[in-house]
Amino acid sequence: MILINKYGFTNLSYKAIYSFQTIRLFIFFRIVDPFMHYVFFATLASSLVGSDYLKYVVIGNIAYYTCQTIMINYMNMFRMERRYGTLELNIASPTPTLLIILRKGIVPLLDGLFVFIVGLIIGAILFDITMPSGNLDILLLLIIITLFSVICFSLLFASVSLLFSNANLFLNLSMAFFQVFCGVNFSVTLLPEPLEILARMLPLTHSIEALRSIYNLENYEVYHLLGKEILIGVCYLIVSVFLVSVMEKLARKNGALLKNI
Amino acid sequence: MEKIIEVKGLSRAYKLKTGLKYALDDISFDVKKGEVFGLLGPNGAGKTTTIKILTTLLLPTAGEARVLGYDVVSESHMIRNRINFVYGGERGVYGRLTAKEYMHYFCTLYKIKNKDQAALIKDLLNLVKLQDAENQKIHTYSKGMIQRLHIARCLINDPELLFLDEPTIGLDPIGAKLLRDIVRDLSSKGITIILTTHYMQEADELCDRIAFIKGGKISLIGDPDFIKQSCNHLNLYEATMSIYDIEKLKENNSFNKLEIEVIKEPYYSLNFEVNENDLEKVSAYLSTFGDILKISKRNISLEDAYIYHMKDVG
Amino acid sequence: MFLLIREIKYFTNFNNKMYQFLLFFQPLMILSIVYFLKQVRGDINSDKFVLASALISMWSYVLYSSGSALISQKWNDTLKLLIAAPVSLFAVILTKALSNSVIALISMILSFIYARFIFQFNIGIANYGYFLLSIVVLIFSLSVVGLILAIVFVASQNVFDFQNLILTPMILLCGVFIPVEQFPVVLKLIAYLIPMTWGIKSVQDTLVLSPFMFSSMAVSIVVSLIYLFLAYFIVKKIEVVLRKTGSLGAI
Ligand SMILES: Nc1ncnc2c1ncn2[C@@H]1O[C@H](COP(=O)(O)OP(=O)(O)O)[C@@H](O)[C@H]1O
Ligand SMILES: [Mg+2]
């Protein structure tokens, strides 16, 4: 278990600006809400193509929901900072902005980890999605890699939120985009060629294929996919690091840091 | 004395739909090490903008500013660790945290070693007299307490230079006094302080030098006495007298800025300015309106000077 | 009616990013998924899913907007003014709910446009007259649900936190995908108690010109009316409490 430092940065960030503080909210939004989400898309897909497709869709949505949790809550942390008028206080400290943003990312990352695991458990119990035994180590590896690539991508949003006080539409659009183009509900191979190439540049796409392969719902080379996913994560990380400094400069230039909502 | 802030030809424009708006228009001033420097001016004059530029959170659109010898645009990282700032009002705190947790959070951001944090926080909370409320959640704090917590926060990195933007805004008299005492205390420890406030009494009491700023331009700069002397041509009088026909006095336009306060009919206390510096003559003229009990020339206060210099501001 | 038009013009904040998403982009997302899933199995009746996409977006819009219409007013402190003004609280909430469902129509229309022109789905509306009629019935039932939601949300901030949680269950429960007839008895009962179920059924029935379409519409109207009366009395009660205490917290 991770040793929680009572006055540690992560713990305080969570207490100060994270959305889910009570056990009740946590149960509803980390267990009930994802479950509803899985049921919704499972129903949509299985009423379209039949119930044998159900597992396929639920697995995809377990990964998707993890991604959504991380992205939305990560962004929300910055919205809260603005609401409290504390964003500028953070940025003005001698800790580099990139480091602040990264460290704040730990909270949604842990949240995402929780959601991922709970999702797989829900899948196993309620949708009868059981993993062939002996794959646990690969699954763990996959979870870690997925979280890595998703958080790297979310960094883009975090840096954008330095400049824009309301990036919600942008975020919602991206989530919808992911829902369609990351192979959450159907294989990306069904997409037209150029769109498939695009899909393969997004995080999650390869992870989902790998996850399905681990669960024997698809047959791909898992390590190969995971390698690509890492590569994609690293690319986004590099772009984000660059973007953070650009956004900070821009925000100082037009006074966006100081704009509160 | 060593200059801790040098501002030359600083401007800041905002793009609005209607065109460019100059929040700061070519201002220049210096602040010397160890002084308390007051920026005074009406709302929208550009005080906060100045402070945000000097604290490296906002870039100027023209001109140059150096803080501690470093350029605010290109060397912000050299500045940030040696300064700190407080913006008045209730924002800038995490309501869900306790004061202690809040301080720990910023200690981490200001790279204070874990083992030193507790002792430092204890000292600072003692200094601002919040030691008894340190485990209380901040959303239960009063305005004055939040303001003092901000002061404690801004002392975390032992800054050489502090920016206080309207720190006493909205505080009750006791809270404001407590804060003024803290500011004086900090100044006596050698910290240079840039202060903005709307309370002239406060500025007079605390500041070594003052700049009047209006419409993004500095109109006057100097120590409080110099600023008051700039209004020496004003002849201010205060009088206590009985008046029988108050309307006639009010209609008379040889008095500028006439303020009338009733003590008890027909006794009034008057404050006014006239173009005459001979007390005898003023007294003789005034007695045509009633019987004078007391009349004297009044010293020019900072507030008089402020009102005089800002008179053409909307 | 005048109030309604004014309402749509002045109080709908199209700048609200969430609304933009719900109205304009959510149908696009669902239709895309349907489009690609259709390639898995060709013989799919897409009408049902175009309608489903429209209904999902309409319902989410009604949920979020009705939920927050009064809440945001509460925050703006204008509710007190509303109470003081000669319009009754009920009329205010009702017009809000109505206008929200009328605006939600945008996403229905968009769904059809997207479906027809982007995804090239055929939409077989057999009889436009009946179809429009059923839409009106649907709007009415949506408004009533919006009205109820607004009242619940005003009464309890706690529930407001959970509005996300009823988004999907309602869609499933109201028979957007799976016909209510196929539910287990308990769920069927609950579903039939919701006005929206009937509104949706009316539209679905009308699309295929089912012989039950008029009875569906009739039931929908009756159920909605019952709720409307219920809401009326509750709001009257709220008004009394409001006048007494001057705040909503007491409810
Ligand atoms: N982000 C901004 N966008 C546009 N105008 C701004 C912005 N911030 C400040 N201003 C304008 O700049 C002027 C100076 O503001 P400010 O420095 O806050 O004044 P003060 O602190 O002296 O009251 C004001 O007229 C204000 O309207
Ligand atoms: Mg200001």
What are the pLDDT digits (tens) for B175-223?
899 999 999 999 999 999 999 999 999 999 999 999 999 989 998 899 9
Chains B and C touch (3+ CB pairs under 8 A): no
Does any ligand 1 atom lie closer than 6 A to the CB of residue B47? yes
Q: How far is CA C152 from the centre of its chain?
A: 15
A84:B94 CB<8 A: yes
Q: Which three-class secondary structure state does DSSP give residue A103?
A: helix
Residue B117's nearest CA partner among C107, B49, B109 is: B109
Which residue minimizes the CA distance to atom 12 of ligand 1?
Answer: B23
DSSP letters for A30-71 = IIIHHHHHHHHHHHHHHHHH-GGGHHHHHHHHHHHHHHHHHH
Number of C-beta neighbours around residue B291 at 10 A: 12
Does any ligand 1 atom lie closer than 6 A to the CB of residue B21? yes
Task: Please give the residue of chain A at the shortest CA–CA distance from B91.
Answer: A85
Region for residue A199 given its phi and psi (left: phi exceeds 0; alpha: psi -120 to 50; beta: otherwise)? alpha
- Per-residue pLDDT tens listing for chain C (251 residues): 444 444 444 444 545 566 777 778 888 898 898 888 888 776 777 778 888 889 998 988 888 887 665 555 554 555 666 666 666 778 877 888 888 888 888 888 888 898 888 888 877 777 888 889 999 999 999 999 988 888 887 766 666 667 778 888 888 888 888 888 888 888 889 999 999 899 999 988 888 888 888 888 999 999 999 999 998 888 888 777 766 765 554 44
Does any ligand 1 atom lie closer than 6 A to the CB of residue B44? yes
d(CA A48, CA B215): 66
Asked if residue B28 and residue B115 are part of one domain, the reply reads yes
Q: Which three-class secondary structure state does DSSP give residue C224?
A: helix
Residues forming a β-bridge with B24 = B12
> What's at A258, amino acid-wise?
L
d(CA C218, CA C202): 9
Task: Please give the residue of chain C at the shortest CA–CA distance from A189.
Answer: C36
A86:B94 CB<8 A: yes
Cβ pair A145, A230 in contact under 8 A: yes
Residue with the two structure tokens 């979310």: A154
Between the CA of B46 and the centroid of ligand 1 the distance, in Å, is 6
d(CA C192, CA C184): 12
Count of domains for chain A: 1
d(CA A96, CA A128): 47
What are the pLDDT digits (tens) for B229-274?
888 778 888 888 888 777 777 777 777 778 888 888 788 888 888 8
Nearest-5° Cα angle at C25, C20 to C30: 145
Whether A220 has its CB under 8 Å from any CB of chain B: the answer is no
Question: Is residue B152 in a domain?
Answer: yes
- Per-residue pLDDT tens listing for chain A (261 residues): 345 677 888 888 888 888 777 888 888 888 888 999 999 999 888 888 888 888 999 999 999 999 999 998 998 898 889 889 899 899 889 999 999 999 999 999 999 999 999 999 999 999 888 888 888 899 999 999 999 999 999 998 888 887 877 777 788 888 899 999 999 998 888 889 999 999 999 999 999 999 999 988 888 888 999 999 999 999 999 999 999 989 888 888 887 766 665
d(CA C179, CA C175): 5
d(CA B139, CA A87): 18
Q: Which atom of ligand 1 is nearest to the CA of B21?
A: 5
Asked if residue B72 and residue B185 are part of one domain, the reply reads yes
Question: Is residue B251 in a domain?
Answer: yes
Asked if residue B147 and residue B267 are part of one domain, the reply reads no
Which residue minimizes the CA distance to atom 17 of ligand 1?
Answer: B46
pLDDT at C7: 45
Q: What is the CA radius of gyration of chain B?
A: 23
Contact residues, chain A, for B153 at CB < 8 Å = 89
Which residue minimizes the CA distance to atom 24 of ligand 1?
Answer: B44
The whole model's pTM is what? 0.86
pLDDT at C83: 61
Q: Which of B229, B249, B283 is the last residue of a domain?
A: B229
Q: What is the CA radius of gyration of chain C?
A: 19
B71: domain range?
A: 3-229
d(CA A207, CA A230): 10
d(CA A102, CA B58): 23
Nearest neighbour of A48 by CB, restricted to C17, C49, C169: C49
d(CA C244, CA A34): 42
Cβ pair B229, B220 in contact under 8 A: no
- Nearest 10 degrees: CA dihedral of B109, B112, B114, B120? -110
pLDDT at A111: 92
Cβ pair C60, C26 in contact under 8 A: yes
Asked if residue B240 and residue B161 are part of one domain, the reply reads no
Question: Is residue B310 in a domain?
Answer: no
Contact residues, chain C, for A185 at CB < 8 Å = 33, 36-37
Does any ligand 1 atom lie closer than 6 A to the CB of residue B52? no
What are the pLDDT digits (tens) for B152-175?
999 999 999 999 999 988 888 988
Cβ pair B79, B56 in contact under 8 A: yes
* Separation in Å, CA of C111 to nearest CA in chain A: 15
Q: Which three-class secondary structure state does DSSP give residue A172?
A: helix
Q: Which of B229, B248, B282 is the last residue of a domain?
A: B229
Chain C interface mutation, best of A44, A190, A198, highest count of C Cβ atoms under 10 Å: A44
d(CA A62, CA B193): 55
Does any ligand 1 atom lie closer than 6 A to the CB of residue B313? no
Residues forming a β-bridge with A99 = none
Residue with the two structure tokens 């597992």: A55
Helices in chain B by DSSP H: which ranges? 47-54, 76-80, 99-109, 114-127, 143-154, 173-188, 200-206, 224-229, 246-251, 279-286, 302-309
Contact residues, chain A, for C27 at CB < 8 Å = none
d(CA A46, CA A40): 10
Between the CA of B76 and the centroid of ligand 2 the distance, in Å, is 22
Residues forming a β-bridge with B195 = B38, B164
Tell me the count of A-B CB pairs closer than 8 A.
84
Contact residues, chain B, for A90 at CB < 8 Å = 109
pLDDT at A105: 92
* Lookup: tokens for C48: 């049902």
Region for residue A152 given its phi and psi (left: phi exceeds 0; alpha: psi -120 to 50; beta: otherwise)? alpha
pLDDT at B45: 92
Number of C-beta neighbours around residue A233 at 10 A: 21
| Share in percent of chain A as helix, strand, coil (round to 5) | 75, 0, 25
Number of C-beta neighbours around residue A144 at 10 A: 13
d(CA C15, CA C12): 9
Contact residues, chain C, for A47 at CB < 8 Å = 177-178
pLDDT at C4: 47
Question: Is residue A20 in a domain?
Answer: no
Question: Is residue A5 in a domain?
Answer: no
Asked if residue B189 and residue B134 are part of one domain, the reply reads yes
CATH code of the domain covering residue B256: 3.30.70
* Separation in Å, CA of A85 to nearest CA in chain B: 4
d(CA A54, CA A34): 15
Count of domains for chain B: 2
Cβ pair A154, A105 in contact under 8 A: yes
A190:C39 CB<8 A: yes
Contact residues, chain B, for A255 at CB < 8 Å = 14, 52, 58
Between the CA of C64 and the centroid of ligand 2 the distance, in Å, is 36
Whether A25 has its CB under 8 Å from any CB of chain C: the answer is yes
The CA-atom distances, in angstroms, between B189 and each of B39, B163, C173 are 21, 15, 70
Q: Which of B178, B208, B229 is the last residue of a domain?
A: B229
* Lookup: tokens for A229: 């996913």
Q: Which three-class secondary structure state does DSSP give residue C87?
A: coil
Peptide bond between residue C169 and the one before it cis (omega within 30 degrees of 0): no
Does any ligand 1 atom lie closer than 6 A to the CB of residue B12? no
C28:A176 CB<8 A: yes
Region for residue B191 given its phi and psi (left: phi exceeds 0; alpha: psi -120 to 50; beta: otherwise)? beta
Find all residues with CB under 8 Å of B10, minimum gap 6, and list them. B24, B26, B27, B28, B50, B53, B60, B62, B63, B64, B65
Between the CA of B160 and the centroid of ligand 2 the distance, in Å, is 22
Does any ligand 1 atom lie closer than 6 A to the CB of residue B167? no
Does any ligand 1 atom lie closer than 6 A to the CB of residue B49? yes
| Residue C117, Cβ density class (10 Å: 0-12 exposed, 13-18 middle, ≥19 buried) | exposed
Once rounded to an integer, what is the mean pLDDT over residues B140-149? 92
Q: Ligand 1 pocket: which of B10, B14, B16, B50 to mutate (most atoms <8 Å of CB)?
A: B14
What are the pLDDT digits (tens) for A100-147?
999 999 999 999 999 999 999 999 999 888 888 888 899 999 999 999
Contact residues, chain A, for B105 at CB < 8 Å = 7, 9, 12-13, 16
A114: domain range?
A: 25-258
A29:C38 CB<8 A: no
The CA-atom distances, in angstroms, between B289 and each of B274, B286, B292, B294 are 15, 6, 9, 14
Does any ligand 1 atom lie closer than 6 A to the CB of residue A134? no
Long-range contacts at C217-226 (CB < 8 A, ≥ 24 apart)? C217/C133, C217/C134, C217/C137, C220/C137, C220/C138, C220/C140, C220/C141, C220/C195, C221/C137, C221/C140, C223/C141, C223/C193, C223/C195, C223/C198, C224/C140, C224/C141, C224/C143, C224/C144, C224/C195, C224/C198, C224/C199
Chains B and A touch (3+ CB pairs under 8 A): yes
pLDDT at A213: 92
pLDDT at C11: 45
What are the pLDDT digits (tens) for B276-303?
778 888 888 888 888 888 888 888 888 8
d(CA B106, CA B152): 10
Query: Checking DSSP bridges between strand B161-165 and strand B192-196, what pairing results, if any?
Result: parallel
Does any ligand 1 atom lie closer than 6 A to the CB of residue B175? no
Residues forming a β-bridge with B272 = B237
Q: What is the predicted ipTM?
A: 0.89
Cβ pair C57, C108 in contact under 8 A: yes
Mean pLDDT rounded to a whole number for chain B: 89
Asked if residue B149 and residue B274 are part of one domain, the reply reads no
Question: Is residue A14 in a domain?
Answer: no
CATH code of the domain covering residue B38: 3.40.50.300
Asked if residue B240 and residue B128 are part of one domain, the reply reads no
